[in-house]
Structure 1
């Protein structure tokens, strides 16, 4: 009788499960099947079987639509987390007896099973690229579903290890670089648009340099790249640098190397820092190649400036009109806008970081805030972001570590006296 009752319960459960499965969309059912494959994958000890399951899991993930990906992330967060009771028992055992064996057991039980899921998926050909894409999709879900942050934390932890500086290769990109990579530069450039191959060719001439970080698992995909121009003095405008018809100079006579564009290429690696290593290594390599270079600086956008002013508000009516419209400002507004920009860059903070994202990057790397430049970028994008203003950050190779310490530990922006004076005038302009 008991056996008959057990059989009936199993049949009911099976029918109920099948019914529930049929109510889900086809995409959601694919996500459920993928989760089952991954449970088998992390329990599989055979190398050949594990590799086959890893390849299968990547194929199944690639065929998920938006709904399926969302459901898959939900399953990872819910079903592939550590077991709380097991972790508690392991922690209590280690507390009673902090032996190496108990410590190892605690570490094993604390680690979420989804980390092993990602490690196993990474074993398949193309696994690293697929996981970078997976994180990009996950980041799109986080705003609406903040509880998925636990999945992102685990994946970021692993990607941070797989993409640490020791695995990265710095390459110079020039006109002899394979076309597949050059095409990606055109597609990825996020600061100053590249208008086709003639424009790109000028940016790779003898008085220019382009360097990128690459990873063995993403052979032709730059992770981040920087464009450099050799000029005679600290530049005040980006137009002459970008002009396709400009004369090619002699890099051996230049005094300044200006980093005029830095682009991160892989959205799925957001938050994993490469730029700090890139800038410092490129500066050191250029200094060794061209001892005539005395100044290493940027000509950088101020992407958050106008939005900040719109939030804060200004007293002057003419200034308020330009802030609202984002149009080309007249010369009489030069002094107030430069003063406000200096204040914004040097004295506006968000927690322990500079408010402007580009300032945050360069100041955190040890650069000095040197000069605000009037009408340095009068493209529609430059006017909309910062009324055409741009800024020079200077990397003095002897001071970068001290400047970094000032910024990180003392929350102090190292800036020139000109910027300091201009920033001190901003208070009377703000509402």
Structure 2
């Protein structure tokens, strides 16, 4: 898996997709020249250039395939379109940050397939496979799967002619997971992981450090299986054992010319037997970034010898948060307490009645983050965005376009921790969590 985040597979396309109709290429007049569309039969291939990378989305009858088995909502597709535009850093971060959301409370509701759509034997096999997939994922990660009663958001399983899933959780939305291989546990886990918000391993932003992808060797219309979404985060090293990885020869024009190889030119095979250790670590990081029973050091990714520190070890209201050489005293020990979906209060062991707070609930870049008695206020709650190997970014609930950062990207002792305009390329806004 990885990444989450982390976290694209092949489209079952009817023959008419490649029918001998004239291709028509258009641009979107409401956007820019970074968007173009090619009509092929009854389908449309959209090309969207985001941060210099081309993303392909195949639209079939109003359904948007970000990969062969990943379905985007109309809202997610429009998010990609917006990201092709000349947006400010804050606008870009605000638009992209919830492209693929996790399930609240790490609890996934589901509904078994309708028995009237298949034989009793097929239904029994399907249900047993779903249960095995859920048990494997829960035992490995702690993510819970609960049969739905009245919840509006849930996974609905359907026996179908192909395998696919929506990407991530969305409010008031049913995730319909279609399965042809309904009796294969590994494939069910793969599709469920898409619904959990995980993309394919070959779509990590750092994939070119591990594999060579040659899009020219991919059959026309299947380029979307090698997209790299700009905010997708890889967790740990590239995982050749991941259940989310494709094989070298998938979607090849010529099986002797695989589209994807290792850097030395050798090929590899994807597996659908079980989730890997890397998949497990990625899911845990995505859904449980901080254990409520854990005590953590918070370290800027670019200055690993220093950590966030309560200035002077002073538990008084208004005490500044700074960076200081790493040590084991309580002023560098923090605990995370869950609030609403994705948000945490961050407490210090100096005084667990006090939490990290954006001073005066200000929304201006450069506002100091301080230590203050909890009032359960929105400027005292932070959402953790998992950047995989790039650490976490912290967004205050009262101002989601801001991020906690080391002031000026400094390295000097006593440099203040402040909030600044969200910038996904800024290392000063990324932090690693290390458990004591």
TM above 0.5, yes or no, is no
Higher relative contact order (CA 8 A, sep 6+): 2
**TM-score of the superposition, structure 2-length normalised?**
0.26
More helix by share: 1
User: In proportion to residue count, which structure has more strand?
Assistant: 2
